[in-house]
Chains A and B, each alone.
Chain A
Amino acid sequence: MSRRKARVSVLLALVIAVLAGTALFRVSQQVQTAEDAERHLRISVASEKEAIRVLDAEWDYLNRPDRLEKLSQEYLNMQQPHTEQIEHTPAVLPDVMSPVIEAQTIALDKGARTPMRVPYPRTKPQRQQPRDFQRLLDDVAPAAGGAR
């Protein structure tokens, strides 16, 4: 083995050692940072959980039935319904308003797959079409005394 070759191998070994050391150092730093971040996350999760516990307890404390009852008596003009006020036979009630658009049965292909969304009848009235000017005039005219 020549001297030159030996020197190159020594240098190579040193470079590799330094590179390996640096890489190891980096990894260990990353692990430490990650562990630190994880610890912080754990702590903040624990802290949030505790905050939730406290808020839960406070929510149920503030919603005690006796407190709600007192508040409603004080601030709301409402009372518990008396059984006499409830209609005992719902059949005698007049029918409720019929929907603006009647429900339509949607015919489906027997072979087709079930559609993801089936449009349901809307109870809200559809937006009115913008009227054209002539129709507007026609509408206004009788009130104005009959222009035509």
Chain B
Amino acid sequence: MKKYLPFRRSMRIIGEKRTALDTARSRITIVSALFVLGFIMVGVRVVDLTFIQGEMQEFSVATGSGHSRVKEDKDIPRGNITDRNGILLATSLRTASLYADPAIIANPKEAAQALVNILPTLSYGDLLQKLQRKARFIWIKRNLTPDEQFAVLSLGEPGFSFQSEWRRIYPQGPLAAHIVGFTDIDSNGIAGIERSFDGLLEDGASDLKLTLDIRVQHIVRRELERAIKDFNGIGGAATVVDLSDGEILAAVSYPDFDPNDIGAADDKSKFNRLTLGVYELGSVFKIFSSAALLETHGVPLSTGFDTREPLVRGRFTIRDYHPEKRVLSIPEVFMHSSNIGAAMMGEMVGTQNLKDFYEDLGLLSPLSLEIEEVGRPLVPEPWRDLSTLTASFGHGIAVSPLQMTVAAGSIVADGTLIRPTFIIPEGVTGAPKKQPEIRIISPQTAHRMRQMMRLVVTDGTGKNAAVSGYRVGGKTGTAEKPDARGRYDRKKQISSFIGFFPMDAPRYAVYVMVDEPKGTKASFGYATGGWVASPAVRKIIEGMAAVLAIPPMDLPTAQDLSAPLRKYVHDDKGAKHLASFGTD
């Protein structure tokens, strides 16, 4: 018996005693054992596949239905862009794109007809031509709506399939279209923030928070649109900048477009007038020439400028729109917006000084901004003495409206340079480092400028911008547009108003510009900055105050910022004010 035990035998050291029979038997045993093992494994696997895994698969199909569209994949959507309060400005949603495999479409005519009924934007002929091609993959329509997808699915045509894709959606529509920008169909940013932050957004790791506040943005857009429509303008731009940190709360260019439907937008609508467009902005530049004069020469405000006669330099004559025909003090030149007076101030400042001053304010080079649509200023080249005269009242030099707002803001906000930004610094640990301040004018000059701008609203050309309780100050601007031959056209103007509030400690800059407004009955035929843009600024400030909960505060007239300047104002109204001071 002993020799029949296979295990023992196999363990025995091979020797001469082994017979051929033993060898054969052990081999048969081993082979049959292997076979038995093999069959057991097959049996177990069959049980596994049919009962265990098969049942589970059915279970998973039952529970997983409805999720089948969502693949658990690694494709991460493009990052969102939000406003400062986290309201979505751009997001990506998964949509289905329809493609066809013509090789397995039995009846192209029928399929094409059925598809055209569902998707009316497609043309039957074009579709039929595509479906009869000898290809295996043809895009039919990208980014279908769920309803369309359902209708196509219910056709039951095996040749139609879907590929899920991310589609860029802009819930706010045209509201901030120029700043947010847009992407192409493959979600590559091609304009605005979408373009300049393409790499970061593509990673999809985090949302990008802009400084815009869509509530303010909406108010600004509404009022700009109203001003343009009321005065039949061809376009315009408006912005609100927080002077405390340079954050841009609202940035509007009009006409605008719906980034969800880029194909329908024309180039005029896509053009960003606020940052890319450069314009001769006119009298608002008197802020800069006056500041330059006060800063470089320190002249008293009572210094007189004779505006009785037009200023003739070479073959050029500088005139006033509404000549006062008398000797004006500096505040008077400013509040009546006298071109002659401003040109004389420029002459006093001197060409090099004025040029340096504009350079310091960043008016001679493109603004540094987070979007790529930034216009290069048009600067007189070469800069002659005459250019100094015209540049003093904003002609012969073209800058973008945002650039002008920022430069004027820098003067008003105590004379230190403001750096505009669209992005809120986030995820930075520790307190944000305060940027070193760059002083352009002295606090004294800044104070004088604030007083003068307040005077413009209390007594001058910007009365329409006054909002009770918010102490608005600012400067109107009405510039004639040059035509194709470089001649100024009296009828084509750019009317604007730069407003600041509250003027004694300016926090917000509000700028509105309307391109080619036409006078109306209500404005007595005027289409100047004071009639067109000032009321819009007033309405924006009223709306902003309500939204941002800025409490109003009244000051008696005698304590108003402009009160000390009234002694330099010599017209009848000024005299009246002086009289009232006596009794106050």
Binding site for B on A (CB under 8 A): 3, 6, 10, 25, 29, 32-33, 36, 39-40, 42-44, 46-47, 50, 53-54, 56-58, 60-61, 63-66, 69, 80-84, 86, 88-89
Inter-chain contact B171/A6, CB cutoff 8 Å: no
Give CA–CA (A86, B148) in the complex, Å: 52
| B42 interface residue (CB < 8 Å to A) | no
Contact of A64 among B60, B171, B551, B552 (CB under 8 A): B171
- 0 or 1 for each of B167-189: is its CB under 8 Å from A? (1 = yes): 00101110100000000000000
Inter-chain contact A46/B552, CB cutoff 8 Å: no
Residues of chain B in range 202-233 having any CB-CB distance to chain A below 8 Å: 214-215, 217-219, 222
Q: How many A-B residue pairs have CB under 8 A?
A: 93
Which residues of chain B have C-beta atoms less than 8 A from A43's C-beta?
Answer: 64, 67, 70, 72
Inter-chain contact B214/A57, CB cutoff 8 Å: no
7 residue pairs A–B, Cβ–Cβ below 8 Å:
A36-B56, A60-B88, A60-B171, A64-B171, A83-B542, A86-B551, A88-B554
Which residues of chain A have C-beta atoms less than 8 A from B93's C-beta?
Answer: 50, 53-54, 57
Q: What's the minimum C-beta distance from A79 to chain B, rounded to whole angstroms?
A: 10
Inter-chain contact A84/B171, CB cutoff 8 Å: no
Q: What's the minimum C-beta distance from B67 to chain A, rounded to whole angstroms?
A: 5
Which residues of chain B have C-beta atoms less than 8 A from A36's C-beta?
Answer: 56, 60
Give CA–CA (A86, B175) in the complex, Å: 29
Inter-chain contact A83/B215, CB cutoff 8 Å: no
Majority SS of interface residues in chain B? mixed
Which residues of chain A have C-beta atoms less than 8 A from B172's C-beta?
Answer: 60-61, 64
Give CA–CA (A10, B222) in the complex, Å: 92
Inter-chain contact B552/A86, CB cutoff 8 Å: yes
Which residues of chain A have C-beta atoms less than 8 A from B428's C-beta?
Answer: none
| B5 interface residue (CB < 8 Å to A) | yes
Chain B interface bracket (under 10, 10 to 19, 20 to 34, 35 or more): 35 or more
- CB-nearest residue of chain B relative to A42? B72
Contact of B171 among A61, A69, A89 (CB under 8 A): A61
- CB-nearest residue of chain B relative to A33? B56
- CB-nearest residue of chain B relative to A9? B7
**If A54-B93, A64-B171, A88-B552 touch, does A40 touch B63 (CB 8 Å cutoff)?**
yes
- CB-nearest residue of chain A relative to B554? A88
Having A57-B93, A66-B222, one finds 15 other A-B pairs with CB under 8 Å, namely A3-B1, A10-B7, A43-B64, A44-B67, A50-B93, A57-B169, A64-B171, A65-B217, A65-B218, A80-B542, A80-B546, A82-B542, A83-B469, A88-B469, A88-B554
Give CA–CA (A54, B56) in the complex, Å: 31
Inter-chain contact B173/A6, CB cutoff 8 Å: no
| B44 interface residue (CB < 8 Å to A) | yes
